Structures are given as C-alpha cells and as structure tokens.
Structure 1
C-alpha cells in the first residue's frame, strides 16, 4: 500500500439519508489539479475496499473533501456512510481525470454540468482562480431529484462570494443554476431538456451553446453523460482529452 496514505476524518455532513460528504487530513506530498479524482477506501478484514472519488476541495486547501451517495449493496459506500471524526481512511497518493481546464480550449463560457454527487469535482473547479482567468462566465448546473439533494448551495451563493481569494471572481463570473426533477422548485427539469428547449439560456440570459465560444464539463449519472454527450456532438462540439484540448470533456472514471 505504498501508493496510499492513511488520513484521518475531520468532519462528516449528512445532507440526506443517501447523500453525505466528509473531509480528511491531506498528506503534504499529495497534489492534484482542480477537477481530478483519486482513489479512497477502507481496510476491511485486512483487505482494501477502494473506489474513485472526485476531489471537492480546492487544490490549495490543507484538507481533502469528498461527496458520496449511499448505495445499500455497495460494500464501500455502505461503510463510508458511518464515518465519524477521527476514523482512518485510505487515500491514494495519485490523482488523475479529464475534468481539468487544460483539456479545454479557451472560450467565452464554461458550463459545468453535474448530477448528484457529480457536483464534487466542480466544487474544486469553481474554487480555482485560474478557472475565472480562462473563461468569461462559469456556469454551474446541478441537477437532482429532490431539493434536499442540492448540496453546497449555501456555500456557493453565500460563502464563496465573500471569500477573500475568490469573492470578486465569484460575484462577477460564477452563475449557479440548480434544478430538480421531482419537487416543486424555481428551476425544474433535466439539464439536457432545459438545454434542448432553450429554457436554460432564456433563464440565464445567455446565448445558446456554440462550439466556437462555449466549453463544457460533464460528470454525473450514466444517463446524464450519455445524453449530454449526444446533445453536444449533435451541435458539432468535439470531445477533448489529455494532450488534445477541445470543446467538452467527460469524466468516466468516477
């Protein structure tokens, strides 16, 4: 396990019965780019249970943050939901992933599209000053079934705008658009439907997606990834990758 370090749980927050987040200590030698993921896990019967998780913390923070859903039949998440302060967790010393702005060409607007816990890497991206230097508007789209699942809304709308490092960037460039599919809410509907109908852009007072000007990152359910990719390709967007920046990127590793 030389490629892993043992970290201590610093805090745990349960957003709903099925959605929770937690922070851990951070090995000083561990580095990552905003939007990447790493492998974390627990030792059970002297064997590691491991899984890839997006890093929700900023690359400059001294702690790591993760967001998880509870999956009853999954041996790892069914245990992670019971974490408490002081518990030990295994964290890989390596981070990787495609949701980094280096994999995108420069553009006018950066759209971050996530469902559920797929929000995690975008929390890292919106806390990185470089994101705002590369793009004019940063549009965070978060879709969930229930209003209670819209985690981090207060942090995004209240704490970040007053942050000493990020405040000016967030106030003038970050646009947050949460939407739900099952509860009454000011924004309702699947993100792909809101894009296809044009409602998203009329709500935000922004022009519709154009490959010449807009860049997109996608992380979430398999259905979201599939449908959004098809939508973008249908509008002549090209998918980027390491060493070949283009108009959109998808995270398939988490």
Structure 2
C-alpha cells in the first residue's frame, strides 16, 4: 500500500473539516491539474466562493484555500491547482488519484460572487492562471445569465497548454445541462497567451489599451463604463492591483458582500 493510500485510511473529520473522496483527476500539463471530489449533502456555497482543501500533515492538516470551479448546483466539487514540486501541500496533492481522500473545509466564503456586484448589463471576468477557477463556477450557473446581458471571460496565461477548460469555453459550454442556450448567446471567451504564439497575445491591460477586449461580439461602449459594466478579477496580484487602480480612477467602486459595488476582487488571496 502506498503512503498516500495509508494516509487516506486514517483521515478523520473534525468540527472544521469533512473527509471527501477524489472522483477524478485531470492533468492539463506538467504544472496544472484539476480534480473533483465528493460533495457533502450539507455543503452549501455560492458560485465563485472558495474553500479550504487539505491533506494530513505531521502535526496538523496541510490546508490551502481553493476557489471552487464547479457551480453551486453541481453534485461534486471541482478544483483547479498548480503543481509546485516543493510546495507543502501541492507536492502531495498533485499525486492524488481517484479513490484517495482529502480534507474539505466546512465553511466556504468569498467575494467573487454576484451578490457583491450592483446590477449591470456587461460583466467582465478577468483572470490569470488558476484565477480562472471561480469564473468557471460562475459561467456554469444560470443565475449569472439572469443578472447580466453579456459576459466576457478573459483568461491570460503564459503557454497555450495553460488554457484549462479551453475546449468547453470555446464551445460556449455546449452540452451543459443548464446554461448551454444562454451561454451561446451571452458568453464571450477571450483567451490570451503571453509567451507563445497564439491568435491573441498580450496581457489583459494591453488588451484593454488596444481595444481587443471590447471587440466583437461584445456590444456597447469600447471602454469600461461604471454605469453599465461590472468587473471581477482573480489571479496575479500584479494584474489585480494595476487594474483595480485603473477602475478606481475611472469611477468604479469596489464591492463586498456587505456593500455591493462595480468591481470585486478576492481579498483573501491578495492580502
């Protein structure tokens, strides 16, 4: 029996953690993977929130916050992760297999949720790397299509193989049981790659500057408008801080669960 399998047999739930079983693992490339786990019947979350995921440690569980990539209605929970060879948790987590067990926090939370935004017409989801995860949750939730007429999901990565869920997004979530019809009409996907040849290159700020972000099929102003536009950002701290300053100077106010605004970030990840 492997060390991992042996550890799985002795996992025990606590007041803060449940023990869940890995259902599937998908390796996108040598440094990116996603996995699904069982979902407790008592586990409730809003699409876009994050939760603690972990494995046993020497003295206490090794835990890390992960945005949930599956929508609130899904029967299983899906997570997206990088592979860090010497990372305390990810060095082990990247080797999980179906049937293994891990810890799941009982209390999801977060601000990358529709409730933290004021009503609007266009929603921009700006992500880098694994910051895509909460937006995969949101675009697979029917509620977001009722709140916004147009949704633009931007995913900036270094390599083409880092474009997780690219096939699903390019098909406008075709085959999704709840949102395929709405996504076909309302969802736009703009992937961009910064270190390899691709049809769109450049960082998100460059796509804003040259107008690429506002190209067809997007309708409306060719710039951000605080009256009609709402923005969510997740990923690189450099990207978030730079664009947050841009939005603040353009009249956008940051929102929260207590006071909705025109843009939101996940402060638990930014600090």
TM range (shorter): over 0.9
Q: Which residue of 2 aligns with 1:77?
A: 90
TM-score, with normalisation over the residues of structure 2?
0.90
Which runs of no fewer than 5 residues in structure 2 stay unpaired? Answer: 1-13
- Cα distance in structure 2, aligned partners of 1:104 and 1:29: 27
CA contact (8 A) 2:150 2:218 kept: no
Cα shift readout 1:198-220 (whole Å, capped 9, x = no counterpart):
23213554421110110000000
- Cα distance in structure 2, aligned partners of 1:120 and 1:61: 14
Question: Residues 1-254 of structure 1 correspond to what in structure 2 (within 5 A)?
Answer: 1-158=14-171, 160-202=173-215, 204-206=217-219, 207=221, 208-254=223-269
Give the number of the structure whose residues are more often strand, by fraction. Answer: 1
- Cα distance in structure 1, aligned partners of 2:176 and 2:23: 22
- Cα distance in structure 2, aligned partners of 1:23 and 1:40: 12
Give the C-alpha shift of residue 48 in structure 1.
0.3
Describe the SS at the equivalent of 1:15.
Answer: strand
CA contact (8 A) 1:192 1:231 kept: no
Distance 1:167 1:200, change over 3 A: same
- Cα distance in structure 2, aligned partners of 1:209 and 1:39: 34
TM-score, with normalisation over the residues of structure 1?
0.96
Cα shift readout 1:116-174 (whole Å, capped 9, x = no counterpart):
10000000000111100000101100000010000001122337233232111110000
